[in-house]
Amino acid sequence: MTHAATAGRRRLLTTTAAFACVALTCVSFGLGGWQPASAGSTSTSTSTSTSTSTIAPGPPKTEALIVARAATVTKPAKRLRQSGLMMFPMDPEPTCTVLDNFGDARGSGRRHQGIDILATLGQQVFAVADGTLTIRYVDGASDAQLSGNAWTLTLPDKTYYFYAHLSRFADGLSVGSTVSKGQLIGYVGDTGDPGPGNYHLHFEVHPGGGSAVNGLPLLEVPTSCIVY
Ligand SMILES: [Zn+2]
């Protein structure tokens, strides 16, 4: 039933898959991992063309699948290294993509002072610690041209966090309000300089009230978030 040419091509595919495996992930998976546990596959010394053509279509596909998954697991591993003490400032549902873009160049010699967390309109934004809302920027005001609607949350040690581009503020909060860790303080939006529809939370961390630092290594990023 099987043509010799077809069997030969499948052997070539198998060989190609093996090379791909060697290049990418053989250390973790091994070549033998995908072999079916049938009697035909274990007697490899004198496999006929029939047994090769029966087995060959399976392993390359499985191998390709494993390699594809292996390529994506670097992101969760990166997230694990980023686990820290600070709670994540935003509800990760339904969308959460964290950009590792602290310090990126911006116009006029500016540097990006925070990280951006891409989301959808209205996702909840939380206080990451117990503190006081000390500054509120309102979209449209001259001092809020870049930030749009924004909060500054200040802790007793003067550390402060800056949340920008909110669509709106949580009800009942004003400058001077004390908030607790995890409390809803606003909602993701695109106010300020992001541009229409570019919904994200811009989040800054200023330890001791000083210069901004990269908040990403300090945050406990939910596993459902993608980190770039
Ligand atoms: Zn930003």
Is-contact 205 154, C-beta < 8 A?
Answer: no
Distance 147 CA to ligand 1 centre (A): 9
CA angle 200, 203, 209 (to 5 degrees): 160
| Partner residues linked to 135 by β-bridges | 152
Counting as low any pLDDT under 50, the low residues of the chain are: 1-83
Query: If you measure from the C-alpha of residue 126 to the centroid of ligand 1, how many angstroms do you get, rounded to a whole number?
Result: 17
Q: What is the pLDDT of residue 164?
A: 98
Residue 40 CA to ligand 1 center (angstroms) comes to 59
* CA 16 centroid distance within chain: 32
Q: What confidence score (pLDDT) does residue 108 get?
A: 87
**Ligand 1 geometric centre to CA of 164 (Å):** 8
Burial of 101 (0-12, 13-18, 19+ CB in 10 A): middle
CATH classification code of 78-227 = 2.70.70.10
pLDDT digits (tens, 9 = 90+) for 136-188: 999 999 999 999 999 999 999 999 999 999 999 999 999 999 999 999 999 99
Expressed in angstroms and rounded, the spacing between residue 112 Cα and the centre of ligand 1 is 6
Give me the helix-helix angle, 58-72 and 74-82, nearest 10°: 20
pLDDT of the residue at 123:
98
Which residues, by Cβ under 5 Å, contact ligand 1, an ion? 116, 202
Residue 11's alpha-carbon distances to 8, 66, 181, in angstroms, are: 5, 19, 60
Alpha carbon of 202 to ligand 1 centroid (Å) = 4
Domain coordinates of the chain in residue numbers? 4-72, 78-227
Q: What is the pLDDT of residue 33?
A: 33
Distance CA(168)–CA(175), nearest Å, equals 14
What is the tens place of the pLDDT at every residue in 205-214? 999 999 999 9
- pTM listed for this prediction: 0.64
